[in-house]
Amino acid sequence: MFLEQLINFYNPGDVVVAISASGSSPNIIKAVEWAKEQGSLVIGLTGPKGAKLKSHSDVCVMAPTAPYELIEDFHVICMHTMVTALKEAYGGAQ
């Protein structure tokens, strides 16, 4: 499911951010494996048991909590932090 979307929108040099609370979603893993084959940098966001996604990521941030609701909240904070850092690095909120 995610692989087809990635194939359609991927451009060489893209960074792929993969989010999976369990870290073992077959659809996410398949897409990440394809992205790695293309030479993409992969950032993984997962829960504390997300070793499968971690092993396929260049950088992996694992939530320090087990309930899925809190893992998802942690991922939202991570995404907001990444977007803020990118905006600052590339000239502010334009």
Tell me what pLDDT residue 75 has: 96
Tens-digit pLDDT profile for residues 46-64: 999 999 999 999 999 999 9
Please give the single-letter amino acid code of residue 23: G
- What average pLDDT does the chain have? 94
pLDDT class of 94 with cuts at 50, 70, 90: low
Residue 7 domain flag? yes
Residue 78 domain flag? yes
Residue 79's CATH number: 3.40.50.10490
Q: Quick one: 67 exposed, middle or buried, by C-beta within 10 A (0-12, 13-18, 19+)?
A: exposed
- Domain that residue 72 falls in: 2-89
pLDDT at 93 over 80: no
Residue 94 domain flag? no
Distances (CA, A) of 8 to 3, 16, 21, 38, 39: 9, 13, 24, 13, 16
Please give the single-letter amino acid code of residue 14: D
Residue 46 domain flag? yes
pLDDT at 92 over 90: no
CA angle 13, 58, 86 (to 5 degrees): 60
Q: Which residues does residue 59 pair with via DSSP β-bridges, in sequence order?
A: 43
Greater confidence (76 vs 94) lies with 76
Total tally of structural domains belonging to the chain = 1
